[in-house]
């Protein structure tokens, strides 16, 4: 069974590396979410910024896991 990897950065941000290759970081203030995913064939990550109050419903389970850290 594969599990996601949670981590704490030196600036007090928390992040999760998900088994599907996506990544999510929550800023130290707990307000901004940075979501990164590989959506192009050259395997570069594309990032999008959201707030805890305004993010796509499809990310709900990932945001919930991020909050538990």
Of 10, 6, 1, nearest to 68 by C-alpha is 6
Q: Which residues pair with 54 in a beta bridge?
A: 51
Report, as an integer, the average pLDDT of 40-50: 84
pLDDT of residue 63: 95
- Cα–Cα distances (Å) from 41 to 22, 47, 67, in that order, read 15, 15, 30
Q: Does domain 5-68 have CATH number 3.30.200.20?
A: no
pLDDT of residue 2: 72
pLDDT of residue 7: 94
Query: pTM of the full predicted structure?
Result: 0.85
The overall average pLDDT reported for the chain is 91
- Cα–Cα distances (Å) from 39 to 2, 5, 45, 65, in that order, read 22, 21, 7, 22
């Amino acid at each position: 069974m594969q599990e996601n990897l949670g981590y704490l950065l030196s600036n007090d941000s928390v992040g999760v590396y998900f088994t599907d290759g996506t990544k999510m970081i929550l800023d130290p203030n707990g307000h901004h979410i940075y979501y990164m995913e590989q959506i192009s064939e050259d395997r570069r990550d594309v990032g999008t910024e959201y707030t805890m109050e305004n993010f796509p419903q499809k990310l709900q389970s990932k945001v919930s896991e991020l909050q538990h850290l």
